[in-house]
Structure formats: C-alpha cells, structure tokens
Copies of this chain bind each other. A is one copy, B any other.
Amino acid sequence: MRLKNIRIVLVSPAYGGNVGGVCRAMANMGLSDLALAEPRELDMGEARMMACHAAPMLARMQRFSTLGEAVADCSMVIGTTARTGLYRQHARTPREWAPQAIAAAQSNRVALVFGTEQDGLSNADVAHCTQMISIPSHADYESLNLSQAVLICAYELYLASGEVTPRAEKSPEAPAALRERMLAMWETALLKIGFMTDEKAEHMMLGLGRIFGRGSLTVDDVRILMGIARQTDWAVDAARSLAEGAPAPVAPAEVES
C-alpha cells in the first residue's frame, strides 16, 4: 500500500476549515497520514464540519513543533510552491513528479509539505525539502486554496498509484456484426412505417449508419436500438391486423440477448 507511506504535512495552517477540507480531500484519494508542523490554534468545529465523513482523520493527525521533526523519517520531502524565484524555479508539476513519488513510497516514507495559507513555505521550510513542485494555474489567479492544492497533489498520486479501481463493469463495445443486424432491423421497420421508399433505403441507411457510428455504441445500446425497431415492426403489424379484423400478432419478446 504505497499511498499509506505518503504523509501530508501542513505548516502552521490558520483555518480549521482548510484542515478539515484537507482531510476530506486526502480520504477521497486514499491518503491517511496527516501531520501539522508548528501548529497554531485551530477552530476544530469548523475542521470537523469540512472534513465531513473524514473527521476521524483529525483525531489521528500528528502534531510536531518543527517541520524538521515532521519529516525526520521521510526519505523524500516535497515542497509545494506557487511562487517562482531562486530555489523554486526548478519546481516540477504534480503530474511529472507523481510516478517518482509513488515509486519512492514503495519502500520509504514520502512527505508532501504545504505552507501557510497566507505566505506558503518560507525559505527555511524550503531548506527541508529535497524537491519542489508547483501546481499549474492560470496567471490571473495563481494561488490555490490550501485544501484545493492538497487535492490536486493527492489526485495525481492516487492516479499514479495504480490503486484506482474501475467504478463499474461496463457494457462492452458492440461488434460490427451486431451493429449491422441492428441496422437491418431498422431498415425493415423504416420501410414498413413508410419513412422511406425502397429506392431511397440505401442512401438513408448510410445516413443512419453515420449517426449511430459517430460515437461508440455498447452492446447494451445496440440492444435498445434493436428493441425499438422490433417494436415498431410489431406495432404496425398489430394495427394492420386490427384494421383487417384479424387476430393481433404475438408481441415481440423482451430485448434479445
């Protein structure tokens, strides 16, 4: 569990709400090791409110009087900066850096350090860091909220960790044969309802093939489209039988598998 080896260190955060937001962002991305360095007094009620279901992380949060102590057992110490300037200009982006951090976290502890809301990391803080990263942001407003900055870094680590599990079994893409069977059923139905004549059918079916082919179609999608054609076909037959006083045809079976 490489994500377990990643510690988020907040240096002197001022707002409990931000610390709570950091807890939630960390939990969303599978991180759990949170530490404060040079802690100030915090509004813990606000922290719990913003942490929401991640509030238990606040109770486990470690407090260190200095940044040096907070990162003492970490082999890689990453500072985050929004500023440029000496010692900061070589900062990489979280996306460039995440795979290396995950590799290091396989067998060592990695710290990711965030400065105060007001001023970020001081030069003395930066001296504790082995590397710097900087989140890409627009020149009109470069500085992210603290919990937002943590989220972006945690998100990149989570994606790089290989621990992302797909949300749900997806319906597979429909193979060409199934798509063509579906189009043939539509052709039959569209002829029967008089939407097109035999002469126009080929041209029109090319157009429909283009419409249905523009995006991807899953097997489930194609089954829905087949069901529509089959039901249309049946409804016209049923109406004709009714008009002729003949018994209605059998309704189509449920969507074919």
**A residues near B, CB below 8 A?**
21, 24-25, 27-30, 50, 52-54, 84-85, 88-91, 95, 134, 136-145, 147-148, 151-152, 155, 158-159, 163-165, 167-171, 218
Task: Write the chain B residue with the least CB distance to A84.
Answer: B168
Contact between A90 and B218, CB atoms less than 8 A apart: yes
Contact between A53 and B165, CB atoms less than 8 A apart: no
State how many copies of this chain the complex holds. Answer: 2
With A89-B170, A138-B158, A171-B90 given, is the CB distance from A145 to B84 under 8 Å? Answer: no
Contact between A29 and B84, CB atoms less than 8 A apart: no
| Bound CA span A88–B90, Å | 42
Contact between A24 and B148, CB atoms less than 8 A apart: yes
Most chain B CB inside 10 Å of its own CB: which residue of A90, A91, A155: A155
Contact between B138 and A28, CB atoms less than 8 A apart: yes
Task: Write the chain B residue with the least CB distance to A140.
Answer: B27
Given A134-B167, A137-B158, 18 further pairs, Cβ under 8 A: A24-B144, A24-B148, A25-B145, A25-B148, A28-B137, A28-B138, A28-B148, A53-B143, A84-B168, A88-B168, A89-B170, A90-B218, A138-B158, A144-B151, A147-B148, A148-B148, A151-B151, A151-B152
